[in-house]
Amino acid sequence: MTENMIARPVILETVAGARSALSGRNDVVLVPTMGALHAGHVALVERALELGQSVVVSIFVNPLQFGPTEDLDVYPRHLDEDIDKLHALGVPFVFAPSVEEMYPSGTVQTKISAGSVGGMYEGRSRPGLFDGALTVVAKLLNIMHPSTVVFGQKDAQQVFLVRRMIGDLNIPVAVEVVDTVRDENGLALSSRNSFLDGRELHAARALSQALEAASSSADGGIDAVLAAAQGALMGEPLVQLDYLKVVNPDTFLPSDDGARGPAVVLIAARVGNTRLIDNERIVLAG
């Protein structure tokens, strides 16, 4: 079927409109995004389309996830282009509300707390990030009542916290996680990559190179993993490391020095003025 034969997505701009359009459907699959869609988002959507016919892609730049000094005002917004991409994929519904529609009272009084893990790693560098993320995800789940919600592995800490919220609050939805999509040089795809110039784009590849080095050294234990990753970052002055951590995937707490078995290596760095994150699942031995 050609793109011209595929129906345009139904654009849902209000909570009431979304609930009406999706009422009675038991195969709703939600893909929450902040727009500026790239190949990583496409992978999420393609997986969603395999899981159910009533796929909803939400496009909402959530102000609760941005601190006062962060890039909310300049975060890329390309709604028309995003809708064209989703049309080509055959997505039936797009939920694209305004900030006023999602937060009609202005200041949000009721938020989901991400707890102690929400204040670590990304949450330490970006206070309030995960309280804001969980709050908007909870709202989207309450509006859409999907059977499944789809996220990307690149946002590993967010995925962990969403899963914990869903379990703690007994929300009847399955979580599907899609592997990180990377460019030909290994850089994890991100909407923020558009902020990088040529030199910064080249330098940013050091993050995935550090993760590759960490994975290759997993047989030597945590010290070897961290040393290998740090070594891969040396000599790249445009990359300013924020954190490099090895965590237990079941608790997202730092892995003990003698830990064995599955782990996740988390990395965050500023490349020029752009902050990037990435992660890699490994198996510790040694």
- Read off the pLDDT of residues 155-206 as tens digits, 9 standing for 90 and up: 999 999 999 999 999 999 999 999 999 999 999 999 899 999 999 999 999 9
Among 104-108, 157-161, 253-257, 263-267, which stretch is predicted with the lowest mean pLDDT? Answer: 104-108
- DSSP conformational letter for 254: B
3 pLDDT above the threshold of 60:
no
214 pLDDT above the threshold of 90:
yes
Task: Give the right CATH number for 3-178 from 1.10.1750.10, 3.40.50.620, 3.40.630.30, 3.30.360.10.
Answer: 3.40.50.620
**The pLDDT of residue 70:** 77
Contacts 24+ apart (CB under 8 A), 193-201: 193/38, 193/274, 193/276, 194/36, 194/76, 195/71, 195/272, 195/273, 195/274, 196/271, 196/272, 196/274, 197/272, 199/238, 200/238, 200/271, 200/272, 200/274
Instruction: Specify whether 145 is catalytic.
Output: no
**Six-digit token pair at 164?**
């914990």
75 pLDDT above the threshold of 90:
no
Catalytic residue among 38, 41, 78, 87: 41
286 pLDDT above the threshold of 70:
no
CA distance 177 to 40: 12
pLDDT grade, residue 4 (50/70/90)?
A: low
**The pLDDT of residue 74:** 81
**The pLDDT of residue 121:** 97
94 pLDDT above the threshold of 90:
yes
Q: 36 vs 158, which has greater pLDDT?
A: 158
106 pLDDT above the threshold of 80:
yes
What mean pLDDT comes out for the span 124-145? Answer: 96
* φ, ψ at 179 (rounded to 5°): -55, 150
**The pLDDT of residue 72:** 85
pTM of the prediction?
Answer: 0.94
CA distance 188 to 184: 10
235 pLDDT above the threshold of 80:
yes
Domain chopping of the chain, boundaries: 3-178, 191-284
Among 28-37, 101-110, 273-282, which stretch is predicted with the lowest mean pLDDT? Answer: 101-110
76 pLDDT above the threshold of 90:
no
**Do β-strands 261-271 and 274-284 pair in parallel, antiparallel, or remain unpaired?**
antiparallel
**The pLDDT of residue 40:** 96
Helix (H, G, I), strand (E, B) or coil at 282: strand
State the average pLDDT for the chain: 95
- DSSP conformational letter for 243: E
1 pLDDT above the threshold of 70:
no
Q: Which CATH class is domain 191-284?
A: alpha beta
- DSSP symbols for 51-83: H-SEEEEEE---GGG--TTSSTTTS---HHHHH
